[in-house]
Chain A
Amino acid sequence: MRNQLVRFQPALARARRIWRSPARTRATLLAFAETEEDGAKDLVAATRRIADPFLRGHVERHAADERRHATILRQRAAELALDVGEGGGAGADSRRDLEGSARRGAAASHGFYSAGLYDELGEVAYVAMLHVAERRAAKLFELHHRAAETDPATAAVFAEIVTDEKYHVAYTQKILERWRAAGRGHEVDEALSRARSSRFVGAWKRLGLRSAGGLGRVLLYVAYFTVLAPFGLVARRQRFGGGWRDPKPHTPASQS
C-alpha cells in the first residue's frame, strides 16, 4: 500500500500541474477527447463484426459512451476557450495553439486503440485488450478527477467519465468470466497476459527508441564540440549579407 502511495503521489502532482495551467488544461481536454473519439470509431467498427448480441449490445453502448465523453470534453475545452475571448482571429489562434500543445505537453488517456483492432486481434483478445485499457483509463481519469478539484466543472466531467469507465471494466470482466466458465479459461488468460505485456512491450519499445534517439543526439552534441569546433570557430566570422543575388541554375536531377 505504501509503495502504491509513493508511486501515486508523483502522478497526482503531475496531473495537478496540468490543471493549474489554463493552456495545458484545454490542451489535455482536447487530447482526451480525440482519444475517446478514436476509441469510439474502433468500437463502432467492431460492432459490425461481433456476432454475439449480448456482447454487441455492450460494445454499442461503450461506443456511445466514448462519443459522449469526446463531446463533453470538447465542450469543457471550448467553455474554457470562450472565457478568454471571442475574436475570430484569436479563436483560430487558440485552436491551433491547443492542437500544438496537445501533442507537446498533454497527457494521453487510453492511448490503446488503433483502427480495426477487432479484426486484427480476434474476439477474445479484443475484449481482453478493452478490459486492460479500460481499467487503466478508469484509474487515469480518477487521478485527474482528484487533481482537478479546484475546477469543479472540469472535475464533474471526469466524474461522469469515471462512472462510465467503471461500467466498461465491469462488462468486459463479465464477458471474460463467461468465456472462462465456457471452458475458454486458458484462451482468456493468455489474451489478458498478452494485452498486459503488449502494453509493457510497447512502453519498452518507446523507451528503446527514445534511448537510441537520445544517444544519437548526445554523439552529435559531442561531435559538435570536438570534430566541428574548429570549423565552427572559423565559420563564426562568416557574415550573411543581404541584397539581391543570382539564383543557382536549376538542374532537375541534382539534389543541390
Chain B
Amino acid sequence: MSARETRRGAVLGLCAFQRGAGAALVVDGRVVAAAEESWFSRRPDEDGFPRRAAQACLRAAGVNGADLERVVLAEKPLAQFERLLATQLAAFPKSAKSFAGTMFTWLGDRLWIKSRIADEFGLPAERIEFAPRLLCHVASAAVQCGLGAVESASVLVLDDAGEWGTAALATVRNGRAELLQEVPFPHSLGLVGAALEQFLGRTPGAELGWFEGLAAGGSDRFRDTFEALVPEESDGSFRVDTGPFRFHFDGERLFAPGLEALFGPARRPGEPLARAGDGHDERARRDADLAAGFLNLTARRAKSMARVLHTKAQAGPLLLAGCVAQTRRLVDLLGERGPFADVRVGAAPGPEGLALGAAALGSGSLPSAPHTVGATGQGSIGLFSGDTEVFRADADEGTALEALLRGAPLAWLESGLELGPESLGRRLVVGRVDGAHAARAVLAPLLRDGAGECARLLVPSEVAERWCQLGPAAAASAVARGAPRAHPELVALAPSVVGADGRVHVQTVHRDRQPNLHRFLHRVGERTGAPLLLAATLRARGSAAALSAQDVDEALERAGIAHRLVHGPPPKPSPQVEFAANAERD
C-alpha cells in the first residue's frame, strides 16, 4: 500500500470518448484548472480519452494522479449503453449496420472505462464515480456563470443525447444541483440540429452556433414544417416526429429521405455553403431559411420550457446549458420575452464544459466562483500555468494601435487558455469596426487560413448599453455574450456586423476581468470616438487554442497577420508530478 495520503478535496472531472473530451480539477472546492484534449491532439472534434488534458490539470495543481480523492466521469456508461441497445433494437432491422458498429465500440472499450480510469491514474475502483450528463451540464453552468454559494438559479439544459435525457429543467440551491424533470430520448433538439447540419453537408454535432451565421439572411417560411416536426406538448415540453430522421438508431446517417421530401435535396458532404442575399441561388436561400427556421424553433421551445421552469423553480436567474445553448441569440430572445429577466450562459455551455461539471459535482458542494491559478487567470476557467506558451512580442501597444487604426488586423495574444469553443480574450484577431467592409477585413486573414467565424463586437461593459439593447443583468456581468438589437448609432457606424434582423453579436469586456483589452478599447475610443473593436477567434488548425508559440507563429504567418500584441507575464512553470502508477508508459 502506498505510504502517500490521498490529497483531500482533489477531484478530477473527466469527459471521455465523446466530443468535448477534457478534464477539470477542483481542489478544496475551487476550480484549479480545466483543459480540453483537443488542445493537445489538435483535433477540433477530439473524442478520445483525455489523458493529456488530465496530465496538464494535475501538473497545474501539483497533484499526483494516485493522490486524487476521486475521479468523476461525466457520463453514466451503463445507462447510455442501455439507451443505445433499446433504441437500436426498437429500429430492427434498419439498425443492423449501426448496431454492429456501436456494439463493437462499446463492448471493446467504453463499457470498461472504470478499469481504464483506475489503470490510468493508479486509483482503486471505489474512488471512481459517474455523474449523469445533464446534471454535469447544470453544475458546469453554475460554476461558469459564477453562481455564489448561497445564490440560487434555475437551469434549462438543451442538449443532444447522453443517457436517456436530452433536455432538462433543473435548479441550483445552496451549492447543490438537482434535475427536476427531463425530456427523454429520442426527443432531442440538439439531434434535430445535428441532422440538419448533416443535411446541409456539414459534419454533424460540430457547433450549433454556426446556424446563426447561415441564418443571417433567412426567413421563417418553414415555420409550419418545423412545428409539425417538433410539436410542443401540452405540458410545455416537446416531442420529435422521428419519421424524417435516423438519429434515434444510426449515429452516422442522421436523416432519412423524408427530410429531403420536406426541404428538397440535401447538400453533399463538404459541399460549400453560400450566404443568401449575395446573389446566390434558390438552394442558398433554402439553406438560410432552414437555419433560421431551426433557430426560431429552438427559441419557441426554450421559451415554453422556461415558463414551466419558472413555475416549478421560481429561483434566481436562468442559466442555459447544453449544446443548443451555444446559439447566442437564444440568451437575448429568452431575456426579452421572459419570464426570467436575467438570463446567463457560460463560455463553454456545450460538451467542453462537461468535465468541469463532473469535477464540481464530485467536490460535494459546487465551487463558489471561478478561480484559477497563475498570474493571468483573472477569473477565467481554463489552463493558466505550466503547459501554456510564452509568446514572442513584436509590437508595443502604441505601434499596434497605429497599425490597427490604419486598417490592419491585429493579433491579440494573452498567456493561458480558456475553456470553450471561442476565445474570449486570449487568441483574438481584432480590427476596426467602422466601414461597410470592416467584418470582412477582420475575417479575411482567417479565411485565407481556411478557418473563420462570425465577427463579434467587443465593447467595454460599462458603455455597452449605449450601442445595443443589452439587458442590465448582462451588462453588469463579467463577460456577456449575446446577439442583442443594435442601436441606430451602431448600425450607422458598423453596418458590416449588424445582421438583417438588426442584431449584433456582442462580447462585453469588463475592467477587472480583462484589464488589458478593456484599456486598449478605451485607447481606441480616444482616437476614434467609439471604444469598439471587431474580433474573431484566432484558430490554429481549426482549434481556438494554440498551445505553443510555434503554432501561433505558423497560424499568423498563414493568415498573413503582420502585427501582434502580447500581454501577460509568462505562466509559472508547473511542478513535476506523477500522473499515474503506470506513468512510464509515456
- Chain A positions near chain B (C-beta within 8 angstroms): 22-24, 27, 30, 34, 37, 71, 74, 77-78, 81-82, 84-101, 213, 216-218, 220-221, 224-225, 228-229, 231-233, 235-236, 238, 240-248, 250, 252-256
**Min CB gap B263→A, angstroms:** 18
Contact A256 B452, CB 8 Å, known A92-B210, A99-B44: no
Which residues of B from 116 to 149 have beta carbons under 8 Å from A? 126, 129-132, 134-135
Residue numbers in A under 8 Å from B557 (CB-CB)? 71
Question: Would you call B203 an interface residue if the criterion is a C-beta within 8 Å of the partner chain's C-beta atoms?
Answer: yes
Our pick among B86, B239, B361, B539 for the contact of A235 (Cβ within 8 Å) is: B86
Question: Would you call B529 an interface residue if the criterion is a C-beta within 8 Å of the partner chain's C-beta atoms?
Answer: no
Our pick among B90, B134, B164, B536 for the contact of A238 (Cβ within 8 Å) is: B90
**Max chain A Cβ within 10 angstroms of own Cβ: one of B92, B93, B126, B131:** B92
Q: Are A242 and B72 in contact (CB under 8 A)?
A: no
Q: Are A243 and B273 in contact (CB under 8 A)?
A: no
In the assembled complex, 6 residue pairs joining A and B whose CB atoms fall closer than 8 Å, in A order, are A85-B272, A85-B273, A88-B443, A92-B451, A232-B92, A255-B79
Question: Would you call B455 an interface residue if the criterion is a C-beta within 8 Å of the partner chain's C-beta atoms?
Answer: yes
Q: Are A241 and B447 in contact (CB under 8 A)?
A: no
Residue numbers in A under 8 Å from B213 (CB-CB)? 87-90, 92
Q: Are A88 and B184 in contact (CB under 8 A)?
A: no
- The docked-state distance in angstroms from the alpha carbon of A166 to that of B368 is 62
- The docked-state distance in angstroms from the alpha carbon of A99 to that of B451 is 10
Q: Are A243 and B87 in contact (CB under 8 A)?
A: no
- The docked-state distance in angstroms from the alpha carbon of A90 to that of B277 is 14
Q: Are A256 and B201 in contact (CB under 8 A)?
A: no
- The docked-state distance in angstroms from the alpha carbon of A92 to that of B207 is 10
**Max chain B Cβ within 10 angstroms of own Cβ: one of A86, A92, A238, A243:** A92
Interface digits, B63-80 against A, CB 8 Å rule (1 contact, 0 not)?
A: 000000000100011110
Our pick among A23, A229, A238 for the contact of B270 (Cβ within 8 Å) is: A23
Question: Would you call B283 an interface residue if the criterion is a C-beta within 8 Å of the partner chain's C-beta atoms?
Answer: no
Which residues of B from 427 to 462 have beta carbons under 8 Å from A? 439-440, 443-444, 446-455
Contact A90 B273, CB 8 Å, known A240-B185, A252-B131, A252-B362: yes
Q: What count of chain B residues pass the 8 Å CB interface test?
A: 96
Our pick among B101, B182, B240 for the contact of A244 (Cβ within 8 Å) is: B182
Our pick among B72, B96, B447, B554 for the contact of A224 (Cβ within 8 Å) is: B96
Question: Would you call B541 an interface residue if the criterion is a C-beta within 8 Å of the partner chain's C-beta atoms?
Answer: yes
Which residues of B from 170 to 194 have beta carbons under 8 Å from A? 179-187
Q: Name the residue of chain A whose CB is nearest to the CB of B271.
A: A23
Q: Name the residue of chain A whose CB is nearest to the CB of B168.
A: A247
**Min CB gap B476→A, angstroms:** 29
**Min CB gap B172→A, angstroms:** 14
**Min CB gap B157→A, angstroms:** 11
Residue numbers in A under 8 Å from B271 (CB-CB)? 23
Q: Are A71 and B558 in contact (CB under 8 A)?
A: yes
Q: Are B203 and A250 in contact (CB under 8 A)?
A: no
Q: 4 tightest CB-CB pairs across the interface, nearest first?
A: A89-B213, A242-B239, A232-B92, A23-B270
**Min CB gap B489→A, angstroms:** 23
**Min CB gap B450→A, angstroms:** 5
**Min CB gap A240→B, angstroms:** 6
Which residues of B from 181 to 219 have beta carbons under 8 Å from A? 181-187, 201-203, 206-207, 210, 212-214, 216
- The docked-state distance in angstroms from the alpha carbon of A154 to that of B72 is 50
Q: Are B274 and A87 in contact (CB under 8 A)?
A: yes
Q: Are B451 and A255 in contact (CB under 8 A)?
A: no
Other contacts beyond A89-B273, A97-B203, A255-B78: 14, CB < 8 A: A23-B270, A23-B271, A85-B272, A85-B278, A99-B541, A220-B99, A224-B92, A225-B96, A232-B93, A236-B92, A244-B237, A245-B182, A248-B164, A250-B131
Q: Are A88 and B78 in contact (CB under 8 A)?
A: no
Q: Are B239 and A241 in contact (CB under 8 A)?
A: yes
Q: Are A91 and B452 in contact (CB under 8 A)?
A: yes
- Chain B positions near chain A (C-beta within 8 angstroms): 43-45, 72, 76-79, 82, 86-87, 89-93, 96-97, 99-101, 103-104, 108, 114, 126, 129-132, 134-135, 164-165, 168-169, 179-187, 201-203, 206-207, 210, 212-214, 216, 233, 235-240, 248, 268-275, 278, 308, 361-362, 439-440, 443-444, 446-455, 536, 539, 541-542, 554, 557-558
Residue numbers in B under 8 Å from A216 (CB-CB)? 104, 108
Residue numbers in B under 8 Å from A254 (CB-CB)? 76, 78, 130
Residue numbers in A under 8 Å from B186 (CB-CB)? 240
Residue numbers in B under 8 Å from A78 (CB-CB)? 447-450
Our pick among A224, A228, A244 for the contact of B183 (Cβ within 8 Å) is: A244
Residue numbers in B under 8 Å from A90 (CB-CB)? 213-214, 272-275
**Max chain B Cβ within 10 angstroms of own Cβ: one of A100, A231, A244, A254:** A244
Residue numbers in A under 8 Å from B237 (CB-CB)? 242-244
Q: Are B130 and A85 in contact (CB under 8 A)?
A: no
Q: Are B184 and A245 in contact (CB under 8 A)?
A: yes
Residue numbers in B under 8 Å from A30 (CB-CB)? 450
Residue numbers in B under 8 Å from A240 (CB-CB)? 87, 90, 184-187, 248
Our pick among B78, B269, B453 for the contact of A256 (Cβ within 8 Å) is: B78
**Min CB gap B319→A, angstroms:** 17
Q: Are A255 and B130 in contact (CB under 8 A)?
A: yes
**Max chain B Cβ within 10 angstroms of own Cβ: one of A77, A84, A85:** A85
Contact A224 B100, CB 8 Å, known A89-B453, A93-B202: yes
- The docked-state distance in angstroms from the alpha carbon of A90 to that of B288 is 11
Residue numbers in A under 8 Å from B179 (CB-CB)? 247, 250
**Min CB gap A246→B, angstroms:** 6
Q: Are B447 and A81 in contact (CB under 8 A)?
A: yes
Q: Name the residue of chain B whose CB is nearest to the CB of A24.
A: B270
**Min CB gap B47→A, angstroms:** 12
Contact A97 B201, CB 8 Å, known A89-B454, A236-B92, A252-B362: yes
Q: Are B79 and A81 in contact (CB under 8 A)?
A: no
Q: Are B453 and A88 in contact (CB under 8 A)?
A: yes
Contact A220 B104, CB 8 Å, known A74-B450, A87-B275, A247-B181: yes
**Min CB gap A256→B, angstroms:** 4
Residue numbers in A under 8 Å from B202 (CB-CB)? 93, 96-97
**Min CB gap B394→A, angstroms:** 20
Residue numbers in A under 8 Å from B97 (CB-CB)? 221
Residue numbers in B under 8 Å from A236 (CB-CB)? 89-92
Our pick among A231, A243, A252 for the contact of B233 (Cβ within 8 Å) is: A243
Q: Name the residue of chain A whose CB is nearest to the CB of B72.
A: A252
Q: Are B82 and A256 in contact (CB under 8 A)?
A: yes
- The docked-state distance in angstroms from the alpha carbon of A254 to that of B515 is 45
Residue numbers in B under 8 Å from A93 (CB-CB)? 202, 210, 214, 272-273
Contact A247 B134, CB 8 Å, known A88-B213, A213-B104, A242-B187: yes
Residue numbers in B under 8 Å from A96 (CB-CB)? 44-45, 202-203, 206-207, 542
Q: Are A84 and B272 in contact (CB under 8 A)?
A: yes
- The docked-state distance in angstroms from the alpha carbon of A229 to that of B96 is 10
- The docked-state distance in angstroms from the alpha carbon of A91 to that of B126 is 47
- The docked-state distance in angstroms from the alpha carbon of A245 to that of B233 is 13
**Min CB gap B305→A, angstroms:** 9
Our pick among B101, B274, B449, B455 for the contact of A85 (Cβ within 8 Å) is: B274
Q: Name the residue of chain B whose CB is nearest to the CB of A246.
A: B181
Q: Are A94 and B210 in contact (CB under 8 A)?
A: no
Residue numbers in A under 8 Å from B451 (CB-CB)? 91-92, 95
Q: Are B275 and A255 in contact (CB under 8 A)?
A: no
**Min CB gap A171→B, angstroms:** 25
Residue numbers in B under 8 Å from A95 (CB-CB)? 450-452, 539, 542
Residue numbers in B under 8 Å from A22 (CB-CB)? 272
Q: Name the residue of chain B whose CB is nearest to the CB of A37.
A: B554
Residue numbers in A under 8 Å from B164 (CB-CB)? 248
